[in-house]
Structure 1
Amino acid sequence: MIVARADPRTPGCALLLAQSHALMRAMFAEEDNHFLDIDALCAPDIRFFAATEGEAVLGTGAIALRDGYSEVKSMFTAPAARGLGVADAVLTCLIDTSKAEGRPLLRLETGPGLDAAHRLYVRHGFVPCGPFGAYRSGPGSLFFERPAD
Structure 2
Amino acid sequence: MSPQATVISIETPLSEDMGAMIAELNEVLLTLSPPEACYHLSVQEMAGDATTVFVARVDGDAAACGALHRHANGIAEVKRMYTRPAYQGQGLGGKILERIVLLAQSEGFNSLVLETGDKHQAAWRIYERAGFNRCGPVLDYPDSPYSVFYSRPLAAS
Alpha-carbon displacement from aligned partner over 1:97-141 (angstroms, at most 9, x marks no partner): 111111111000001110000011000000011112211111011
- Structure 2: which amino acid aligns with 1:139? P
- Structure 1: which amino acid aligns with 2:63? L
* Residue 10 (structure 2) aligns with: 5
Displacement over 6 Å in runs of 4+: none
1:77 paired with 2:88, answer no
* Residue 140 (structure 1) aligns with: 146
Taking only aligned residues, the RMSD between alpha carbons, in angstroms, comes to: 1.0
Long gaps (5+) in structure 1 = none
- Structure 2: which amino acid aligns with 1:27? L
Contact (CA 8 Å) 1:16, 1:77: kept in 2 or not?
no
Q: Secondary structure at the match of 2:43?
A: coil
Structure-2 separation of matches of 1:94 and 1:145: 13
Long gaps (5+) in structure 2 = 1-5
What aligned pairs does 1:117-136 form with structure 2 within 5 A after superposition? 117-136=123-142
The alpha carbon displacement at 1:36 in A equals 0.5
1:65 paired with 2:47, answer no
* Residue 24 (structure 2) aligns with: 19
- Structure 2: which amino acid aligns with 1:146? R
The alpha carbon displacement at 1:26 in A equals 1.7
What aligned pairs does 1:91-130 form with structure 2 within 5 A after superposition? 91-130=97-136
- TM-score w.r.t. length of structure 1: 0.96
Structure-2 separation of matches of 1:99 and 1:58: 25
Greater shift after overlay, 6-15 or 60-69?
A: 6-15
Q: Secondary structure at the match of 1:96?
A: helix
Alpha-carbon displacement from aligned partner over 1:63-114 (angstroms, at most 9, x marks no partner): 1101111100000001100001111110000001111111111000001110
Greater shift after overlay, 85-94 or 22-31?
A: 22-31
- TM-score w.r.t. length of structure 2: 0.91
- Structure 2: which amino acid aligns with 1:108? L
